[in-house]
Amino acid sequence: MNIPFIEDYGPVTKKLTLRGATYLPSEVFDFNKEHPIKILDASVGEISELPGRFAELKDLEVAFFSDQAFEEIPSVLSELENLYMAAFKSCNLSKFPEDRSEEHTSELQSH
């Protein structure tokens, strides 16, 4: 498993942990083909955007992007049907996707 920034992968939980990432490496998507990722913990780093390929993580249910450089919630997340939680704690969020309701945006800002 040669993925930049990898800290751990739990085959039972299907959790991939990346630390100190400055981008989401393409190797994650190749790895996902053989080992479906249900939980992605990419907290602590300098990621500011997600590539379009992020939609390939079809089994993803939970994503943690705390302490990253995001200024807005990436719209590609809306393409993931199984994703039910995405955390952006301690990011510099100032913009929200236009397809989000005002109620949902207020809920996100309060956390």
Residues 1-48: tens digit of each pLDDT? 689 999 999 999 999 999 999 999 999 999 999 999 999 999 999 999
Provide the 8-state DSSP code for 54: G
C-alpha–C-alpha distance, residues 60 and 80, integer Å: 7
Q: Report the alpha-carbon angle 95-69-71, nearest 5.
A: 5
For residue 34, the surrounding DSSP H or E stretch is: helix 27-34
Of all residues in the chain, the percent with pLDDT exceeding 90 is 78
Specify which residues 10 forms β-bridges with. Answer: 15
With 80 as the cut, is the pLDDT of residue 99 above it?
no
pTM score of the predicted model = 0.84
Of 48, 52, 26, 35, nearest in space to 93 by CA: 48
Cα distance from N-terminal residue to C-terminal residue, the chain: 34
The token pair that represents 35 in the structure block: 């080992």
**Letter string b/e over residues 21-49, b meaning 16 or more CB atoms within 10 A of that residue's CB:** beebbeebbebbeeeebbbbbbbbbebee
pLDDT tens column, 43-96 = 999 999 999 999 999 999 999 999 999 999 999 999 999 999 999 999 988 876
